[in-house]
Structure 1
Amino acid sequence: MKYLILFCSLMVSSTMAHSLKGSWQLMSGFYVNEQGQKVDYEGLKLSAIKVVSDKHFSFITMADGKFWAAGAGDFEANEKTYTERPVHTSYAVPADGKYQFDYTLDGELWKKSRWQDGELVEQEVWQRLP
């Protein structure tokens, strides 16, 4: 019985990774800056592409046509959470080395929310690219 449970757990994890696999384009979002102010991506004219494989991710973000940020690393996902562990970045990574998001897949849209101490600090909507 315990082997069946382990097998099912592995299958769910694999299915979640597979459902995120592909190329994604940033549609909208915001983050809360160090001063506690909400910064809307539209105001920054951000555009980004994220590529997700079975176990790794990478992205590059532009602001008004100029380089903004890039990162790559590995991730884990289950049916509710997506956790990135950036390895190569153009920005400082948090002390614990990861970003954990709650997420939903709604057709071709991937909606992610990141919370810190009970506060929503980042939210993004990505659309799957063909």
Structure 2
Amino acid sequence: MKYCNYPAVIITLVFLLTIGCQEVHQQKALASPLTGTWRLLTGTIIQGKDTTVTNYTINQELIKIITDTHFAFLRHDLGKDSTTIFVSGGGRCKIDDQHYTEHLDFCNYRAWENNTFEFEYKIIGDTLTTIGTEKVEALGINQLNIEQYARVK
């Protein structure tokens, strides 16, 4: 019969589990509060003297998925007629305490690809607000974009 030191084995297992749990907790603590899935509620575009406010909860839906390194967005209308709309894009992103930068690598509107957009962001509860200037020289676009999102749980 082989000798087994059960107390030592149990102590070792508890120690290893504790270290593993601490590493998972530290990884979660390092994740930005911006990471997750967000549903766009409203978008405000200010271009020169013109302001357009869009309510994205009426007849359409847009979600944005943000990780620490990448983002993607998907938008579609809720209709079923010949005017259906589907918009998608994504790419790399960089996040710090107040700024969120997107580099749009993929977009079904190809003229928007390979552009970088910087936003300031603020999170209050489960609401995310972003504000930044979008410039796409090839399209003559230079506009202020203010968006408000709700966290998807």
Per the normalisation by structure 2, the TM-score is: 0.62
Structure 2 regions of 5+ residues with no counterpart?
1-28, 136-141
8 Å contact from structure 2 (residues 68, 95) kept in 1: no
Q: 1:27 to 1:116 in 2, by over 3 A?
A: closer
8 Å contact from structure 2 (residues 74, 89) kept in 1: yes
Identical aligned residues as a percent: 22
How many Å separate the matches in 1 of 2:55 and 2:88?
Answer: 18
What corresponds to 1:18 in structure 2? 32
What corresponds to 1:67 in structure 2? 85
Confirm or deny that 1:108 pairs with 2:148: no
Classify the secondary structure of the residue corresponding to 1:98.
strand
AA aligned opposite 2:54: Y
Q: Which runs of 4+ in 1 moved over 4 A?
A: 43-46
What is the CA-CA distance between 1:93 and the residue it aligns to? Answer: 2.1
Classify the secondary structure of the residue corresponding to 2:32.
helix
Per the normalisation by structure 1, the TM-score is: 0.72
How many Å separate the matches in 2 of 1:129 and 1:69?
Answer: 19
What corresponds to 1:98 in structure 2? 116
Bigger radius of gyration: 2
AA aligned opposite 1:93: W
Q: Indicate the RMSD between aligned Cα atoms, in angstroms.
A: 3.0
Give the structure with the higher percent strand: 1
What is the CA-CA distance between 1:120 and the residue it aligns to? Answer: 6.5
Greater relative contact order structure (CA < 8 Å, 6+ sep): 1
Confirm or deny that 1:121 pairs with 2:144: yes
**What number of residue pairs does the alignment pair up?**
114
How many Å separate the matches in 1 of 2:99 and 2:131?
Answer: 9
Q: 1:98 to 1:36 in 2, by over 3 A?
A: farther
What is the CA-CA distance between 1:108 and the residue it aligns to? Answer: 0.8
How many Å separate the matches in 2 of 1:60 and 1:112?
Answer: 17
